[in-house]
Homo-oligomer: A and B are copies of this chain.
Amino acid sequence: MTRPAVRIVLADDERMVRTALRAILSAEPGLAVVGEATTGAEAVSVVRELRPDVVLMDVRMPEIDGMRATEQIVATLEPPPRIVVVTTFENDSYVYDALRAGAAGFLLKRSDADTLVQAVRLVAQTDSLLFPAAVRALADQYARRSAPSAPWVSKLTGRERDVLRHMAGGLTNAEIARRLEVGPATVKSHVAAVLAKTGARDRTQAVIAAYEAGFLSAG
């Protein structure tokens, strides 16, 4: 069963990186580098034209960064190519962003040649393998968690945030007052302000709003 070669596009603004990747990948049977791009914008157009199976996408590039380019490609091409996001540092948030953007994989530049080749091969035929749709769903959940953060959050004063946090901890006004070492009346004032700003009718709705907005993890 001789499969047709895996067609690859490299997107990286550094010539040396592209050269190195091309050297490694071209030496492999069944892998073919069919195009290169040096900016995110170029990556989008090149991929749209060449319709490769796999794209190795650097995160930091001029004009449009790799994340946005990935987003655009995944959103506009049907079926989208498998995009492997390549970066220098193991920054967790990059990985999340890559997954959210629709990347099929994530690779560090310090990876050795074997790992690179295997990753490309794997990703190229990734219909039923390592982490398919589920990981995307996971990333989407994460996105919902930390993304919008509701408009009212920024309008709360420091003290009001404190109070809301304690409200979300299930404390009564009196308990919050003790924790914050202020009078109960003060807490009442802050609670009233929180209710007004969150549009909540009572403390329960305010707590719900806090959870929905991801207020608790965000701080």
Contact = CB atoms under 8 A, between A and B. Distances in A.
Nearest to A30: B114
Contacts of A202: 170, 172
Interface of A: 90, 92, 95-96, 99, 105-108, 110-111, 114-115, 118-119, 121-123, 125, 128-135, 137-139, 141-142, 145, 167-170, 172, 200-205, 207-208, 211
Contact of A130 (B90, B105, B125, B168): B105
A116 to B, nearest CB: 9
Copies in the complex: 2
Contacts of A141: 138, 141-142, 145
Contacts of A145: 141
A2 to B, nearest CB: 12
B95 A134 contact: yes
